[in-house]
Amino acid sequence: MVYPNLDVSEMFVEREAQRSSMHTRHLNEQLVRVLKTIGYDVGFQRGTGQYLFDRDGARYLDLLSGFGVFAIGRNHPVMRNALKSVLDADMPNLVQMDVSTLAGILSEKLLENVPYMDKVFFANSGAETVEAAIKFARNATGRDGIVYCDHAYHGLTYGALSLTDDTNFRTGFGPLLSGCTTVPFNDLEALEKALSSKQVAGFIVEPIQGKGVNLPTDEFLSGAAALCRKYGTLFIADEIQTGLGRTGKFLAIEHWNVEPDMILLAKALSGGHVPVGALLTQKSIFDKIFNRMDRSLVHGSTFGKNDLAMAAGIATLEIMKHEKLVENAAKRGAELRLALQNMIPEFELLKEVRGKGLMIGVEFGPPKSLRLKASWNILESASKGLFCQLITVPLFKEQKILTQVSGHGSHTIKLLPPLVVTEDDGKWIENSFRTVIADSHKVPGAIWSLGKTLVDNAVRKSA
């Protein structure tokens, strides 16, 4: 049988101008409307490393990195070659009644970096690893309860959503998973009260919370681990965003010298090409789930150990090791945080810069001067957190920097650049933030005119 030449890259070029209309008709129309409203519909054509290029050839610095998946940058040649080598080899992928060689190799490489763990379970995404952690914790302990923290984000599938403290995501999807309760982040007293019933299977926590880039106190994570041991609860570290070098250590939990019972990984492990999630745990826990031959498939994921995903994970770890990306994240992150922190005395709207490695939160807050306060209050009354959009939009349109507000109603902009960013990129970020923040202190000014437009849009939407 003769097939026509199937060149998907050619399809991309031919249909690029229709991307918005196709999404409006067949996919998410509201997302298209958002992008057009804030001027983000530039039609990205190409990505390489930490840079994106739009339909006019303009270069952007990507501080979003696909919500953290592009730790090694976009379209890394080593990653491309690794994936092509799998496709060219005619491997016996997903036989199912067999075991995967590449899964064995990737699990070895992961466990070399986390020597207190013994076993790995592979899934297709971070949310799937959270679902697996819920099941594993309940099975291993014989308990039902799961405790999570306020402001947590653990995913949007049903179990994961039940552990995500955000009404914007949860509204309309209840009832959610029973037995899930929340405690304040950094509150050991509240955590002990929740665990003391001895009915809690697992306590799940992001070492650094993605929504807001909230850091734990020096005592919280180690104290939480001790409480989990005291009451027989499994400690689950959600490192889906913070893991694999993001914070300047292989795992963020290493900053506080804590060894969890489970570690959840995804995002960056994919290399940005083939989704993969991994749950790391100890043999004593793993063997309680897969405890007999007739339960060898009691939990699984059809595509979880597919050869392309395993190859992507292997290549990611090799690239990170060879290019010293964990070390680069620590160095560039420290430089960038210092540069941004030094701006705080200059700008009354800039309140705090926090984070570790290349996971950085830039928080804004109410000004003291009357003229700025009046403008701030108008924005806040229309939509909480709207001010941050007045920073991200000109960063994008004028400074060619792509970033995001760190959550619904948040006053914090989150920076998650690829771990390959350079010293020059850091200067680009510093100068761009300085320019845009300085403009935000001019009333009247272009930024506040944008604010009026966004407020008017919000009013029309509510009407």
pLDDT 10s digits, 296-342: 999 999 999 999 999 999 999 999 999 999 999 999 999 999 999 99
User: For a pLDDT cut of 70, what percent of the chain falls above it?
Assistant: 98
DSSP 190-219: HHHHHHTTS-EEEEEE-SSBTTTTBPPPTT
Q: What does the pLDDT average to over 132-145?
A: 98
The CA–CA distances, whole Å, from 6 to 14, 88, 172, 441, 446 equal 13, 17, 42, 53, 47
CA 418, CA 61: separation in Å to the nearest integer?
A: 10
* Residue 459 confidence class, pLDDT cut points 50, 70, 90: low
| Amino acid 461: pLDDT | 59
pLDDT value at position 409? Answer: 82
**For 34-52, what is the mean pLDDT?**
93
Q: Which amino acid is at 164?
A: T
pTM for this entry: 0.95
Is-contact 387 365, C-beta < 8 A? no
What is the pLDDT confidence band of residue 15, given thresholds at 50, 70 and 90? very high
Comparing 385 with 232, the larger pLDDT belongs to 232
What residues are paired with 424 via a beta bridge? none
Q: What is the model's pLDDT at position 38?
A: 85
pLDDT at 44 (0 to 100): 95
Select the more confidently predicted residue: 38 or 444: 38
**Looking at the predicted structure, is the pLDDT value of residue 1 above 80?**
no
Confidence band for 450, pLDDT divided at 50, 70 and 90 = confident
Helix/strand/coil for 229: helix
CB half-sphere exposure, 139, CA atoms < 13 A: 17
Distance CA 124, CA 108 (A): 18
Q: Where are the alpha helices (DSSP H) in 114-202?
A: 126-141, 158-161, 167-170, 188-195
What are the φ/ψ torsions at residue 214 (nearest 5 degrees)?
A: -90, 125
Q: Rounded to an integer, what is the distance from CA 225 to the centroid of its chain? A: 23
Task: Mean pLDDT check: name the lowest of 20-24, 89-93, 225-229, 442-446.
Answer: 442-446
Describe the chain by its helix, strand, coil percentages, rounded to 5. 45, 15, 40
pLDDT at position 462: 53
Strand arrangement of the beta sheet that strand 401-402 belongs to: 46-48, 51-53, 59-62, 401-402
Hey, is 47 helix, strand or coil? Answer: strand
- pLDDT digits 0-9 by tens, 417-445: 999 999 999 999 999 999 999 999 987 77
The pLDDT of 27-48, averaged and rounded, is 92
Mean pLDDT of 231-246: 98
Angle at 68 between CA 63 and CA 74, to 5 degrees: 75
Answer for the pair 246, 416: CB distance below 8 angstroms, yes or no.
yes
The rounded Cα 415 to chain-centroid distance in angstroms is 11
Q: Residue 460 has what pLDDT?
A: 60
Overall residue count recorded for the chain in this entry:
463
Max CA-CA distance within the chain? 75
- Contact between 142 and 234 under an 8 Å Cβ cutoff? The reply is no
How far apart CA 36 and CA 66 sit, in angstroms, is 19
Minimum mean pLDDT among 115-129, 239-253, 266-280, 368-382: which range? Answer: 368-382
Q: What's the pLDDT at 426?
A: 98
The answer to whether residue 463 scores a pLDDT higher than 60 is: no
The per-residue pLDDT for 4 is 77
Mean pLDDT along residues 234-259: 98
The arithmetic mean of pLDDT across residues 238-257, rounded, is 98
Other Cβ atoms within 10 Å of 41 Cβ, number: 16
**What 3-state class would DSSP assign to 88?**
helix
pLDDT (0 to 100) of residue 434: 97
- Strand 119-123 to 59-62 pairing: unpaired
How many whole angstroms separate alpha carbon 308 and alpha carbon 305?
Answer: 8
Return the percentage of the chain with pLDDT > 90, whole number: 86
Name every residue whose Cβ is closer than 8 Å to that of residue 48 and which is 6 or more positions away in sequence.
73, 74, 75
How far apart CA 163 and CA 154 sit, in angstroms, is 6
What would the pLDDT profile of 263-302 be if each residue is shown by its tens digit? 999 999 999 999 999 999 999 999 999 999 999 999 999 9
- pLDDT surpassing 80 at residue 390: yes
Owner of token pair 């966004």: 454
Q: Is the peptide bond before 366 cis (omega within 30 degrees of 0)?
A: no
Lowest mean pLDDT among 163-172, 202-211, 287-296, 381-390: 381-390
